[in-house]
Amino acid sequence: MQDILIENNKLSSNNSSITLDFGAFAKGVAIEQMMTILKKHNINNALVNAGGDLKVLGSKNGKPWKIGIKNPVGNHNPSEPAVIAAINLKDKETLFTSGDYERFFEIEGKRYHHILDPRTGYPAVGTQSVTILSEDAALADAASTALFIAGPDLWPDIAKKMGVQYVMLISDEKIYLTQAMAERIELFTETKPIIVK
Amino acid sequence: MTKTITRKLLLFEPADILILISACFLTVWLYSTFWFDLSSVGEAETLLVQFADHSPKAYSLSEDQIINVKGRLGPALIEIKQRKARFIHSSCRNQFCVFHGWLSVAGDTTACLPNRVSISLKGTTNDYDAIAGAQ
């Protein structure tokens, strides 16, 4: 970080090998901007899906939008169901997920994924995925990354501080849900969820 | 036997028969609306492959094959195998589309924005509108 200069709301660096990745919240900001454009053109019913992170406007022919949530282990283990849960989304609601199961490589059985813990500089450990439901896509995007790094012990505090009510966190075959999320989500697993108030 | 059944049917007034038919339709509607289990939806039938704003091309998931698509940066290879689909090669730098792995549920989609190629799975009825997940 010492090679990055922050001045007048601009970032710069003299080190040409530095690259910045705004993946932790840029997609959320972009989706909100897309929604603004849609509304400007009087489009009141829409689903914007940015590769698994999404936001809805209005309804689908008067019914809520039906969204499946990918199983973190389903893609790489054919015996597991591809979808672990389903949820119906209402007008302006957004669903964001951070996970370690799409972008990673493995060395000697250890998975190195793309979400880095700033405390260690290494990929965050202890979480497989975090899904956030909110009305603010930028907040949901940032919160899913932050709670992923926080892990199964610290996420409830961070969620409260960030003001997110609807959270599902999957860690070591355990499923943690906030009370609000538990009332909205339908799980397709025999694992009994741990409800966090 | 036939006469007995005919006699019994004659016991019904036309309004009774109308109520019986309505009840049958109501039962079917109630079942499909409230009893249908969300976990059983999402069976994919077709792969849609789209380049930029061209019309998407549809491929049946019943036939295993490798599809070669010309993208903005170069070729993309998409594999259909055992009713699933995935990118196996793309001419982009980050290869996020390849890392995405298999699409197996109707509503699931992934895109290679630099190469302007997207793929999505479609089913017949009661699909998910989208599949949420990390990428």
Contact B110 A97 (CB under 8 A): no
Give the pLDDT score at B20. Answer: 84
ipTM greater than 0.90: no
Give the pLDDT score at B40. Answer: 43
CB of B58 closer than 8 Å to CB of B46: yes
Contact A101 B134 (CB under 8 A): yes
- Range picked from A157-171, B4-18, B112-126 for highest mean pLDDT: A157-171
Asked if the model's pLDDT at residue A21 lies above 90, the reply is no
Give the pLDDT score at B1. Answer: 57
Q: Chain A residues with CB inside 8 Å of B118's CB?
A: none
In what order do the strands lie in the sheet containing B109-112? Answer: B57-60, B44-51, B117-123, B109-112
Give the pLDDT score at B133. Answer: 84
Question: At a CB cut-off of 8 Å and minimum separation 6, what does B115 contact?
Answer: B71, B72, B73, B74, B76, B90, B91, B92, B97
Q: Chain B residues with CB inside 8 Å of A51's CB?
A: 96, 100, 109-111, 135
Per domain, the residue ranges of chain A are 4-196
As a whole-number percent, the residues of chain A with pLDDT over 70 amount to 95
Return the minimum-mean-pLDDT range out of A38-52, A60-74, A95-109.
A95-109
Q: Looking at the domain A4-196, which fold is it? A: T-fold (3.10.520)
In tens, the pLDDT along A60-78 reads: 999 999 999 988 876 666 6
Minimum Cα–Cα distance from A68: chain B residue: B131
